[in-house]
Amino acid sequence: MIARLNHILAIKGYRLFVICVLLVGIGISITMPYLALYCTEELGMSAGAFGLFTAVSSLSGVAANSFIGKHSDRILDRKFIIMVATVSSAAGYCSYLVFNHFLILLVIVSFFSGLGAAAMPQIYAYAQESANESNSDDRTFAMSTLRSLVSLGFLIGPLVGTLILSAIGYKGLFLGTACIFLVIASLVSVFLPKKRTSQKKRAGNDHSTTSTGRHIWFPVIAFVLLFAVNAINGIITPLFIVNKLHGTHTDVGLVVSICAGLEIPIMFILGAIGRKISNNSLLIGACLIAIIYNLIISVSTDAWQLIAAQLLQAMFVAIVMGNGLSYFTELLPNAPGRSSTTYYNVTIIGRLIGNLSGGIIAQYVGIREVYWVCVAITSVSFIILWKIKHVKIAQTVAKGEI
């Protein structure tokens, strides 16, 4: 294992990617838990207005990502994109302290956060290209390790955010987050060489990418549904524990912490065995795990049962988040920018759908019954992933046969 870690660390730029990805995870998660409180308590937004604000800013990220991802594989320098994106993220966080009018803040934040959303997928794309150039046979391990660092950042960030908020307040929170993204931009500017996509074999690559577009919508739908299920669980499970199982807030904290803590080592292990098990098989397994998990929760009668079941939930999240990027990379082997952008967009859309629909489903169907709905949604993803024969498609595209 040590030898494999040394091997991926030898990939050009990988050590810098490790630092940048960890900092991005910390930067996002420092502010994320408190953004709703700031917008509703300090800026006077209603819950509905904040929901609209979140939805518009998220969709602006999808739109910007799609445009940048399409062109990043052909004419744009990834180093420049990453620098612009991280500086834009910093500007977006500072905007909360400068503007307090809803529409103005919505436009400004949507613009800057939209551009900023390109940072993570472009870092992934650069890392994927570097791994390809190094002829590493541990590309899946390298990418899943990077993805696990985002989860590690999400464990560290909220604690740092709590300390900053208690010591300095919201001003320190947003300025601190902006400084983290400026540090990333500085590191990239100094240490990361320019990378412009090679134009050789461009015609063949374009043909492959265009042809693959006919097949990619089914995986996109499957992943959107899986991320929606995960978001629904995140919203409903605390309510289920407190209101239906009569658990405590400590139980809620245990469920969240145990799941998050287990995700990182599971991602690491899955990345290590990536050469033995295909991403397609792992994702089909993740669907089965999610179905079993939601079935268990739907019939649970005590909070300890949910706590024990977090091993299953952590496995599901680790596979979908840790191996999802490699899945799309195999679908679009000649377009790392487009593949990473597609993956990142489906996470945003899936979470947005889950966040918007979770409460509605609980209100009209019932909190416990939400888990049966999750079983049905996950079953659809299972059927899609089972039928699309992803590995065969990826191999055919890589050979240039379609």
> pLDDT, tens digit, for every residue of 67-90?
888 787 776 688 999 999 999 999
Quickly tell me which residue has 């002829």 as its tokens.
135
Residue of higher predicted confidence among 23 and 8? 23
pLDDT band at residue 185 under the 50/70/90 scheme? very high
Q: How confident is the model at residue 1 (pLDDT cuts 50, 70, 90)?
A: low
User: Does the pLDDT at position 197 exceed 80?
Assistant: no
Would the pTM of this model clear 0.85, i.e. be above it?
no
**Phi, psi of 88, deg, nearest 5:** -65, -40
First to last CA, the chain: 37
- Tokens describing residue 100: 């307090």
In the 8-state DSSP scheme, what is residue 38?
I
User: Residue 261: its pLDDT value, please?
Assistant: 84
- Residue 217 pLDDT > 80, yes or no? yes
Side-chain half-sphere CA neighbours of 248 within 13 A: 3
Query: Are the C-beta atoms of residues 358 and 232 closer than 8 Å to each other?
Result: yes
| Helical axes 249-272 vs 303-331, angle rounded to 10° | 30
At 35, list the tokens.
């953004």
C-beta neighbour count of 138 within 10 angstroms: 20
Per-residue confidence (pLDDT) for residue 274, from 0 to 100: 66
Distance CA 158, CA 288 (A): 31
Question: Where residue 118 falls among pLDDT bands split at 50, 70, 90?
Answer: very high
Identify the three-state secondary structure at position 196: strand
CA dist 44 → 37, 47, 63, 233 (Å): 10, 9, 28, 28
- In the chain the domains, ranked by start, together with CATH numbers, are 11-194 (1.20.1250.20), 201-402 (1.20.1250.20)
